[in-house]
Amino acid sequence: MKLLIKNGRIIDPTQNIDLKGDLLIENGKIVGFDKNIEINDAIKIIEAKGLWVLPGLVDIHVHLRDPGEEWKEDIESGTKAALYGGVLRLACMPNTNPPNDSPEVTSYIVKKSKEKGYVKVYPIACITKGQKGEEITEFGRLKEAGAVGVSDDGKWVQNSEIMKRALFYAKHFDLAVISHCEDQNLSQGGQINEGIYSAKLGLKGKPPSAEVIAVIRDLILAKEAQKSVHLAHLSTKEVIPFLKWAKDEGIPFTAETCPHYFTLTEKEVDNYNTLAKVNPPLRTEEDVQAIKEALKEGLIDIISTDHAPHSSLEKEIEFELASPGMIGLQLLLPLSLNLVRDGYLTPLQLAKYLITNPSKVIRIEPPCFKKEAPAEIIIIDPEEEYILTEDFIKSKSKNTPFLNKKLKGRVKKVILNDNIITLD
Ligand code: DOR
């Protein structure tokens, strides 16, 4: 079958391509792109005037909650939300129940994803057994079972000696090491950012220092191990000078932030809005600005969602008892497009932050438009405005402060191998 996508803005970050033109696919594989492709026997033509045509997005920070918390999300619902968000590959975090600290859990995720998943799933396993920070898991066996990286996400590996060993050990197995940067000694009991709102609401705060100290320690260990550490969901301006320093020192690291950290401030938690409770917490306007500048400078060059579904059972309760986290898979694209609209990133840079750079962290070949590559294509309308209703959200959980708010930028079609999926 031949499929011709006509007159789109074709963006492929793996080849530094951003051109207006046509993309030809045959039998589920890319044939090529050009300013104008004329063929007579195209069985299907998709008109893409005004639309962007990109390889599928790669989100390396997703909580699928499967196994164990399937009332919040499961592999089927989470990957469906991903599909609707244009995320055609994702890595899922190990803080499930039981946690993904054994090859059995990793294999379960791999198998169920193949059976029920709408998109490709890459499991991240735990760094330590039960995420307790005490005993390192069996990285080799986890990798054999399908893990692409290790993380105790949700928690920081507080013991520096264990983290150092984990970095050396992961280097040996070429696994990504993803750090949830939060010194729990400083943040324990904290509910929101430490500052004006924690004082106003009478809630214990999490200080930016909890993140900064964790980042510095991890960078020092990455230097010693000469093994890259991936710094997850950075939220505060205070870390930026240290990222600069680490770049200058040649320390191996990658840095990630999430749309909520460059879009929302701590103001959202006013009136004890549990939908805005997230870890690390939303911070100040200056932090938001600094994160955007860091993205512009390329000090942070990966955007992922930290998609963290929680049901109303965990959210419609007292603030202190509510679980932190917000869903993000269907918000990634519309919110990230604001960085282009506001002049922080070019479309090609944004595509790098959403496709190529995250792929490098988990050591996969990114989806691309190279000849013979399997079709993993999203067609988006960057201008379409719509309301994020509960019906539109494909996750089982609807926990987002953007619920019923206007968004701009929407995935219209996904082409996966031979399948053309229209997302209405
Ligand atoms: O807000 C968060 N929720 N941050 C995390 O690091 C974990 C996540 C979750 O699993 O709910």
CATH number at residue 33: 2.30.40.10
Question: End of a domain among 310, 338, 361?
Answer: 361
Q: Which of 306, 381, 391, 418 is catalytic?
A: 306
Mean residue pLDDT of the chain comes to 98
**Judging by DSSP bridges, how do beta strands 419-422 and 17-26 pair with one another?**
unpaired
Measured between alpha carbons, how far is 87 from 79 in angstroms, rounded to an integer?
A: 8
Q: Which residues 6+ apart lie within 8 Å of 161 measured at CB?
A: none
Question: End of a domain among 361, 384, 411?
Answer: 361
Report residues of the chain scoring pLDDT below 50.
none
Report the number of distinct structural domains present in the chain: 2
Question: Locate tokens 């049901």: which residue?
Answer: 311
Q: Per the domain annotation, does 100 fall within a domain?
A: yes
Could you confirm whether 306 is annotated as catalytic?
A: yes
Q: Which of 235, 279, 321 to mutate to test the pocket of ligand 1 (most atoms within 8 A of CB)?
A: 279
* 378 and 332 share one domain: no
* 305 and 376 share one domain: no
- Within 33-132, residue ranges assigned H as helices are 75-85, 103-116
Q: How far are the Cα atoms of 320, 381, 420 from residue 412, in angstroms, in the given order?
A: 39, 7, 11
Closest by Cα among 49, 79, 52 to 64? 79
* 30 and 158 share one domain: no
Q: From the CA of 280, how far away is ligand 1's center (Å)?
A: 8
pTM of the model: 0.98
* CB 232 less than 6 A from any atom of ligand 1: no
* 330 and 409 share one domain: no
Q: Per the domain annotation, does 366 fall within a domain?
A: no
Q: Per the domain annotation, does 23 fall within a domain?
A: yes
Q: Which residue's CA is minimally distant from atom 5 of ligand 1? A: 154
| Helix, strand, coil % in the chain, rounded to nearest 5 | 35, 25, 40
Which token pair is 421? Answer: 């999926």
Which token pair is 180? Answer: 């949830």
Per-residue confidence (pLDDT) for residue 88, from 0 to 100: 98
Closest by Cα among 247, 125, 113 to 176? 125
* CB 85 less than 6 A from any atom of ligand 1: no
* CB 68 less than 6 A from any atom of ligand 1: no
Give per-residue pLDDT as tens, 150-188: 999 999 999 999 999 999 999 999 999 999 999 999 999
Q: Per the domain annotation, does 68 fall within a domain?
A: yes
Contact by Cβ (8 Å): 92, 120: no
Q: Per the domain annotation, does 260 fall within a domain?
A: yes
Contact by Cβ (8 Å): 413, 46: yes
Per-residue confidence (pLDDT) for residue 375, from 0 to 100: 98
* CB 180 less than 6 A from any atom of ligand 1: yes
* 238 and 378 share one domain: no
Per-residue confidence (pLDDT) for residue 58, from 0 to 100: 99
Q: Which of 95, 181, 233, 283 to mutate to test the pocket of ligand 1 (most atoms within 8 A of CB)?
A: 95
Query: Which atom of ligand 1 lies nearest, measured to the CA of 93?
Result: 10
Q: Which residues 6+ apart lie within 8 Å of 297 measured at CB?
A: none
Contact by Cβ (8 Å): 106, 142: yes
Q: Per the domain annotation, does 261 fall within a domain?
A: yes
The neighbouring-strand residues paired with 307 are 62, 326
Per-residue confidence (pLDDT) for residue 81, from 0 to 100: 98
Measured between alpha carbons, how far is 286 from 272 in angstroms, rounded to an integer?
A: 22
Q: Which of 178, 323, 327, 329 to mutate to test the pocket of ligand 1 (most atoms within 8 A of CB)?
A: 323
Give per-residue pLDDT as tens, 325-341: 999 999 999 999 999 99
CATH number at residue 108: 3.20.20.140
Q: Per the domain annotation, does 414 fall within a domain?
A: yes
The whole domain housing 22 covers 2-53+371-395+403-422
